[in-house]
Amino acid sequence: MISLSTLTGKVSRTQLSNIALASFASFSTYFCMYGFRKTISATTFDGITTLGISFKSALVIAQVLGYMTAKFIGIKFIAELNPAKRGRYILTLIGGAHLSLLLLALVPKPWNLVFLYTNGMCLGLIWGLVFSFIEGRRYTDFIALILSINFIFSSGVAKSIGRTCIESWGIPEIYMPFVAGCLFLPLLFLSVYSLGRIPPPSPEETTQRGKREALDALGRKALVKKFLPGLVAIILINLLLTILRDIKDNYAVEIIRKIRPDASPAIFTRMETLAAMIVFVLLLTVSGLSSHFKSIKRHHLVISGGFLAIGICAICLYLKTGDAIALLVTYTIGLYVSYNTLQCLFLERFIAAYKVNGNIGFFFYLMDSIGYLGSCVLILNKELLNFHTDWLPYFIYVSGIFAVIGLGAVGFSWIYFKRKYQQVQTIQIGL
């Protein structure tokens, strides 16, 4: 079993305290963000339509469009971020998202769709703000592993809380997201305060991981030009994984209803918690290497394994072979092993291995802006061109195709980054 010392090196009591603080603060802040974003996925709005499509899909598209807009804004905003204002930005943005949920309930449709767009636009910047507190440290891999299970665990909890509000408390679906958000406010304030208590990187960490600097427009263009083929491959991989994650997350209620109509609201928390625990253990095996390049090699192998699991589970679901719930849990593990490795581990090591002068936020938002655009396109394709197809078969069909494309993209990415690293090493030896 890989230990904390393997991931971070020898740690003093003070350093261990800092790691614990950073783990709690980053995890709980992003966990709270899900309370203002993913509870909408717990609704169904059966039989309600607007603008020619189901009201649920219109809400999902509006939120994803807002998220996508935030990702394009974040390319510049997060890259040029003033660290002193990060906590204030988090509270302001989540406050705006919460207000948007209230206006969603009060304003008649279809005009209320605007407020789920603003909700998504506010929340789409939170990941870069939170991660900026922990990047560039020798314990970043370990904190990133803890933070990465947020994608799975928090989404399941948010949906379970949402369904409980509707089924047990009798709260109307349209008011539920705002009410559920209120439950997360006390922890949110504590979490953001704790983020501000995390010490900056030490001089030793800056030497090992590189100084994480703000990037102006010229710096961003130079980086893209330098790594263009590899970035295209990584953006494609992230695009595929983002689409699959969004379909699975946003339409989990519809998918589970087809598989197990009598399932209780707690099934989402149970499934996602089990998947999160397994993903965390699996990703421990990806971390702990002192060599940045060897870490990148291992990242590519793990992402390939995730796409392979997605493809196999899609085939089994199509053929109705095996227990469907177990297959969905396995699918979730494969999906998030790939997605979390790319989002939480690869970029940190990429910057360190290739001596990139910049910050992770720029690469996050460059990838995600395209990823969420693709997610909107796929949902619209389903609603407009495949309206009579249920979400379960559509989900299976898209998963099978994306698994094949993903494996090819990972292969290309590894070949490119391997050659690029050899070029960097040759130049350094020459100097």
The residue count of the chain comes to: 431
CA 69 to chain centre: 16
Residue 286's pLDDT band (boundaries 50, 70, 90)?
confident
Instruction: Tell me what pLDDT residue 93 has.
Output: 98
382-410: pLDDT as tens digits: 877 777 778 899 999 999 999 999 999 99
Residue 40's pLDDT band (boundaries 50, 70, 90)?
very high
Q: 93-102, 133-142, 185-194, 292-301: which range is least confident on average?
A: 133-142
As a whole number of angstroms, the distance between CA 57 and CA 110 comes to 12
122-179: pLDDT as tens digits: 999 998 899 889 887 888 878 888 887 787 788 888 988 999 999 999 999 999 999 9
Instruction: Tell me what pLDDT residue 177 has.
Output: 96
Are the C-beta atoms of 105 and 178 separated by less than 8 Å?
A: yes
Are the C-beta atoms of 344 and 364 separated by less than 8 Å?
A: no
Instruction: Tell me what pLDDT residue 343 has.
Output: 86
Q: 179-183, 207-211, 257-261, 422-426: which range is least confident on average?
A: 207-211
Q: 122-131, 232-241, 281-290, 324-333: which range is least confident on average?
A: 281-290
CB burial readout 246-278, b (16+ within 10 A) else e: bbbbbbbbbbbbeeeeebebebbbebbbbbbeb
Where are the alpha helices (H) located in 227-284, listed in sequence order? 228-250, 252-259, 266-284
pLDDT at residue 359 above 80?
A: no
Instruction: Tell me what pLDDT residue 181 has.
Output: 96
Q: Which helix (H) or strand (E) holds 53?
A: strand 53-54
pLDDT at residue 87 above 50?
A: yes
In whole angstroms, how far apart are CA 218 and each of 211, 224, 251, 352?
18, 10, 40, 21
Residue 10's pLDDT band (boundaries 50, 70, 90)?
low
pTM of the entire predicted model: 0.79
pLDDT at residue 358 above 80?
A: no
Higher pLDDT residue, 347 or 1? 347
Nearest CA among 311, 296, 386 for reference residue 341: 296
Residue 332's pLDDT band (boundaries 50, 70, 90)?
very high
- Tokens matching residue 6: 């393997």
Residue 9's pLDDT band (boundaries 50, 70, 90)?
low
For the chain, give the percent of residues with pLDDT over 70: 94
**Looking at residues 349-371, what average pLDDT do you find?**
83
Q: Which domains does the chain have, with CATH numbers?
A: 14-195+215-430 (1.20.1250.20)
As a whole number of angstroms, the distance between CA 147 and CA 241 comes to 18
pLDDT at residue 204 above 90?
A: no
Instruction: Tell me what pLDDT residue 338 has.
Output: 95
Are the C-beta atoms of 128 and 344 separated by less than 8 Å?
A: no
Instruction: Tell me what pLDDT residue 1 has.
Output: 42
As a whole number of angstroms, the distance between CA 20 and CA 4 comes to 11
320-331: pLDDT as tens digits: 999 999 999 999
